[in-house]
Amino acid sequence: MNKKLIAVAIAGAFVGVSPAVMAGTMAVDVKGSGFIDTILTFNNEIADDTGVDATGSVSNPDNTKFSVDGELDFSATQGDVMARIDLDVNNTHGNFDSGEIEQAFSKWQANDAVAVMIGQVNSGIGFEAEDAPNLYQITHGQIYDILDSQTALRGNNVQGVVVNFAAGPASINVGVLDELGRNDEANSLLLQASGSPMDGMNLEFSFITQEDYDAAFNPSSGGNLWDLNGTYGMDNWFVGLEIMDAADDGDGLPDNAYGLYGHIDAGNGFGATLRYDTVAYNDVGAVSVDDTTSTTLAGSYAAADNLGFNLEIRSDDNGTDSFSSVLLEAVATLGDFN
């Protein structure tokens, strides 16, 4: 695509249309979308006495502060090939923290049953999605955070080649990836299977390899990970269960975890979500490490098709201390976000 066509595509994405421009004899369908995620932290006890206020007294730097994240996504489809890039911008407490690529990949629909993705993609491991518009509450749970802690990339993103096979009611992914921790001369293998074995039930199993734990050279690796999650529900409610396990027994690293979820759509734009998750850790030598648990209650209201509000009350317990937080969020989507 030449520079003129690129300019037309980007301009079309920003004004929220999907133009078809000609490149040779085949049309290019260009789309743009994204979201703006604004969070007001009413209270976050874990940050108590971690700052200093204007009088020199110890303070909480999180309370009554706003944070703003944004994302712009662009895609262009020509024939059987789609190229997509998702750009994230993070702005916490008025400070520009980072701008980064969340996804950047090409997707080739080789035939009706096989698609090939090449680049940096959301791995899809686990129940919780990465982006705010696709969450049922404000914060991610502990199981999502485990994978985030294992990957060199943010969130559940991975780099490499992922082949998707449509096998009747099931969807199967096989991926050859950069090793999760970006270790030299190593790769990770991803295997996933998902489907709906009966009306109202959805199941997903994921397995991903990585280099083993080594106290000196690979101290953060939990080894091979597997995740099983499933939901059952009807049009206005669902309940879910997720289990994750890490193979290696590095000191203090997560050993296994499980989460319970429930969501109800109460009508007129209102909804409620309850999440409970817990993580068991390997001991540090002869010292036992307590489990961590978190309980999250969230209420949601869709004020418009492209604007939603969430109120979250969360309690975390590390076996010694407990901390609570109260957050209010506004999420506005741009275009047809997915």
For the chain, what are the domain ranges?
34-46+105-334
Given a contact cutoff of 8 angstroms between Cβ atoms, the answer to whether 131 and 122 are in contact is no
Q: Quick one: 4 exposed, middle or buried, by C-beta within 10 A (0-12, 13-18, 19+)?
A: exposed
Helix (H) or strand (E) holding 150: helix 142-150
Given a contact cutoff of 8 angstroms between Cβ atoms, the answer to whether 294 and 141 are in contact is yes
Longest dimension (CA), the chain: 69
The angle formed by the CA atoms of residues 176, 103 and 338, to the nearest 5 degrees, is 115
Tell me phi and psi for residue 193, to 5 degrees: -145, 135
Helix, strand, or coil (residue 323): strand
Q: Identity (one letter) of the amino acid at 303?
A: A
Q: Given this model, what pLDDT does residue 154 score?
A: 83
CA–CA distance, 299 with 161 (Å, rounded to integer): 38
Report CA 270 to chain centroid distance, whole Å.
Answer: 23
Given a contact cutoff of 8 angstroms between Cβ atoms, the answer to whether 229 and 207 are in contact is no
Given a contact cutoff of 8 angstroms between Cβ atoms, the answer to whether 282 and 291 are in contact is no
Write out the two tokens for 78. Answer: 């020509």
In tens digits, what is the pLDDT along the chain, a chain of 338 residues?
Answer: 444 433 334 444 444 444 555 545 679 999 999 999 999 999 999 999 999 999 999 999 999 999 999 999 999 999 999 999 999 987 655 555 667 899 999 999 999 999 999 999 999 999 999 999 999 999 999 999 999 999 999 888 999 999 999 988 899 999 999 999 999 999 999 999 999 999 999 999 999 999 999 999 999 999 999 999 999 999 999 999 999 999 998 999 999 999 999 999 999 999 999 999 999 999 998 899 999 999 999 999 999 999 999 999 999 999 999 999 999 999 999 998 88
Termini Cα distance of the chain: 25
The angle formed by the CA atoms of residues 160, 161 and 164, to the nearest 5 degrees, is 140
CATH number for region 34-46+105-334: 2.40.160.10
Q: What is the CA radius of gyration of the chain?
A: 21
Q: Given this model, what pLDDT does residue 90 score?
A: 78
E strands present in the chain: 20-23, 26-44, 51-52, 58-59, 65-78, 81-92, 95-109, 114-122, 157-167, 170-178, 187-198, 201-208, 225-234, 237-246, 254-267, 270-281, 292-304, 307-317, 322-334
The closest of 308, 326, 324 to 316, measured between CA atoms, is 324
Tell me phi and psi for residue 14, to 5 degrees: -70, -30
Q: Given this model, what pLDDT does residue 94 score?
A: 55
Q: Given this model, what pLDDT does residue 8 score?
A: 39
Q: Given this model, what pLDDT does residue 32 score?
A: 96
> What one-character DSSP code corresponds to residue 223?
-
Q: What is the pTM of this model?
A: 0.88
The closest of 224, 217, 274 to 248, measured between CA atoms, is 224
Q: Given this model, what pLDDT does residue 16 score?
A: 45
